[in-house]
A and B are shown apart, each in its own frame.
Chain A
Amino acid sequence: MLWVNIIIQGILVGGLYALFAAGLSLIFGVMRLVNIAHGDLIVAIAYLAFVIVKATGLHPLASLILVVPIAMAFGYALQRGILNRTLGKDILPPLLVTFGLSVIIQNGLLQIFTADNRKLQTGALETGSFPLLPGVDIGYLPLLQFIVAIAVIAGLQYLFYKTAMGRAFRATSDDAETAQLMGLDNRKVYAWAMALCLGVVAIAGVFLGVRTSFDPAVGPGRLIFGFESVIIGGLGNLWGTLVGGVILGVAQGIGAQINPGAQELAGHLIFLLVLAFRPTGLFPRMQG
């Protein structure tokens, strides 16, 4: 039963990793941009939620009502103001600019909030659980997190395949030049994709802050988990990203059980194995 528990807890942690990864997957899928600042944006949003909770007294999860639209507006402006200028045939400019953004965010947060750990307190939700099986307890918070991850990915999937905006995302991803011939303004399409990404990042950031303590330096680690989930699941495949997050979470759980110091190492090893034998991931997006 010990291993069943480890696997179930790993699956639930995978939900958080999938939330970290969904935005990365979306942005890579639409505009082939690898956002090095993704993890730092998650942490910055956690700080934003921290400030809003302190200022308004809202429950951290209720703060999403304010955090999500603010993050989306920031994402739209970031893309229109900076990132659109870096996109082209050369992949280096967006990498360098988002790397620079990562440095700026980390140092900005350090200046404003110091290096002290912070956490979003949710009271009983953090510690509450129910028994699923003898020896297997499910925490309310990890379960909620996992359900939200599934809902977010289902929502993104619906948006991508059932709406005009999703059609525009897919067309621009397939062939940006021809998409312009259909009347699509790529700069706006990319900006809406980044706004959507930051909306997902906002949810990930709040759940990060609720689940664990954070400081300005933890962003790159979240980027690695997100990146590994995307690669394991398959580039540009949202459901694959969820599976990737779950595999990473389970691997880390098993690693931690074998040796507490091997938790992250086990995840990295799984990632390397997938990279070696299935470089496009387990469920790469199929093209026509």
Chain B
Amino acid sequence: MSIWEKTSLSDFILTVDSLEAWYGDAKVLHGLSFALKKGEVLALIGANGAGKSTLLKSIAGQLPKKVGSIMFNGNRIDSLVANDIVAKGVALVPEGRRLFASLSVEENLILGGQVKRPGPWNLAEIYNLFPILGEKRNVPGTSLSGGQQQMVAIGRGLMSNPDLILLDELSLGLAPIVIKDIYALLPKIVGNGLSAILVEQDVNRALASTDHFLCMQEGRISLSGVPMDYTKDQISAAYFGM
């Protein structure tokens, strides 16, 4: 029995049911169903092309061509566009950071707070979390190192005071020491009851940092549950499809 089946619907912040999504004519997601409890951190693992980023984009409203339902805080959001979904409380930290090149660090962060949702995060709190950003607040965001850019991207996502943050490939292109630093801050980031879905290529790190996991393969869920319930071989088999 799935661990989610023991929980009442009101405990879930996100429920995805029979989700299918396309890039043009190519179907990428094939009937995904899963749920996320409030305050839970979920790792989304899988090989390249498994559909992890597509799933996050579908939730965040960046993929218009999809069927199935996505419920967030009890409301359907699958027909909404990205700017309406962020106002509802879902923030996506996109793969590759995608900072605004003509904006300074501070302007990038302020823009993240554009939707003005109430909550604990503001500029001062972001600078407390990432002190280096306070020192570099006036320089262009894209002139920072990769790790610092990732901090801006995370800070920008937090500035909207979301209920759910989608973190796509946090460690992509970063030095191991920087990755370690960012993961050390993860408990602070999700410490206020924030729910999170973390897409990560580094499976061990992802499983060690989260409550539950979903393993995806070719647009389908191949395994899900609590990391400690499965052996490495079982997870590897689900990951590689062996």
Residues in chain A within 8 A of chain B (CB atoms): 167-168, 170-171, 173-175, 177-186, 285, 287-288
* 28 contacts across the A-B interface (CB closer than 8 A): A167-B103, A167-B107, A167-B111, A168-B114, A171-B100, A171-B102, A173-B102, A174-B100, A174-B101, A174-B102, A174-B103, A175-B100, A178-B98, A178-B100, A180-B62, A180-B86, A181-B60, A181-B83, A181-B91, A182-B83, A182-B86, A182-B114, A183-B87, A184-B111, A185-B83, A186-B83, A285-B102, A288-B101
Q: Contact at B114–A183, with CB atoms within 8 Å?
A: yes
Q: Tell me, yes or no, whether B147 is within 8 Å of chain A by CB.
A: no
Closest CB of chain A to B151's CB: distance in Å? Answer: 16
User: In the assembly, what is the distance between CA of A173 and CA of B87, in Å?
Assistant: 21
User: In the assembly, what is the distance between CA of A85 and CA of B60, in Å?
Assistant: 23
Q: Contact at A181–B143, with CB atoms within 8 Å?
A: no
Partner of B102, one of A178, A180, A287: A287
Partner of B94, one of A167, A181, A183: A181
Q: Contact at B142–A183, with CB atoms within 8 Å?
A: no
- Of A178, A180, A181, A184, the most chain B CB neighbours within 10 A belong to A181
User: In the assembly, what is the distance between CA of A181 and CA of B62, in Å?
Assistant: 8
User: In the assembly, what is the distance between CA of A186 and CA of B84, in Å?
Assistant: 12
Q: Contact at A178–B86, with CB atoms within 8 Å?
A: no
Chain B residues with Cβ below 8 Å from A174 are 100-103
Q: Tell me, yes or no, whether B67 is within 8 Å of chain A by CB.
A: no
User: In the assembly, what is the distance between CA of A185 and CA of B86, in Å?
Assistant: 11
With A178-B100, A288-B141 given, is the CB distance from A171 to B111 under 8 Å?
A: yes
User: In the assembly, what is the distance between CA of A174 and CA of B100, in Å?
Assistant: 6
Partner of B142, one of A178, A180, A181, A288: A288
Q: Contact at A182–B111, with CB atoms within 8 Å?
A: yes
Main SS of the interface on chain B?
mixed
Chain A residues with Cβ below 8 Å from B103 are 167, 170-171, 174
Q: Tell me, yes or no, whether B92 is within 8 Å of chain A by CB.
A: yes
**How many A-B pairs with Cβ below 8 Å?**
73
User: In the assembly, what is the distance between CA of A98 and CA of B62, in Å?
Assistant: 28
Q: Contact at A180–B107, with CB atoms within 8 Å?
A: no
Chain B residues with Cβ below 8 Å from A175 are 98, 100-101
Q: Tell me, yes or no, whether B122 is within 8 Å of chain A by CB.
A: no
- Which A residue sits closest to B139, measured CB to CB? A288
Q: Contact at B83–A180, with CB atoms within 8 Å?
A: yes
With A170-B102, A287-B101 given, is the CB distance from A183 to B86 under 8 Å?
A: yes
Q: Tell me, yes or no, whether B123 is within 8 Å of chain A by CB.
A: no
Q: Tell me, yes or no, whether B19 is within 8 Å of chain A by CB.
A: no
Partner of A180, one of B82, B100, B143, B160: B82
User: In the assembly, what is the distance between CA of A255 and CA of B11, in Å?
Assistant: 77
Q: Contact at A182–B112, with CB atoms within 8 Å?
A: yes
Q: Contact at B140–A288, with CB atoms within 8 Å?
A: yes
- Which B residue sits closest to A188, measured CB to CB? B83
User: In the assembly, what is the distance between CA of A177 and CA of B86, in Å?
Assistant: 13
- Which B residue sits closest to A189, measured CB to CB? B83
Binary CB contact string for chain B from 56 to 86 against chain A (1 if under 8 A, 0 otherwise) = 0000111000000000000000000111001
Chain A residues with Cβ below 8 Å from B102 are 170-171, 173-174, 285, 287-288
Q: Tell me, yes or no, whether B156 is within 8 Å of chain A by CB.
A: yes
A171-B102, A183-B160 given; name 18 further pairs at CB < 8 Å: A167-B103, A171-B103, A174-B100, A174-B101, A178-B100, A179-B111, A180-B61, A180-B81, A180-B83, A181-B60, A181-B62, A181-B83, A182-B83, A182-B112, A182-B156, A184-B83, A185-B83, A287-B142
User: In the assembly, what is the distance between CA of A96 and CA of B238, in Å?
Assistant: 51
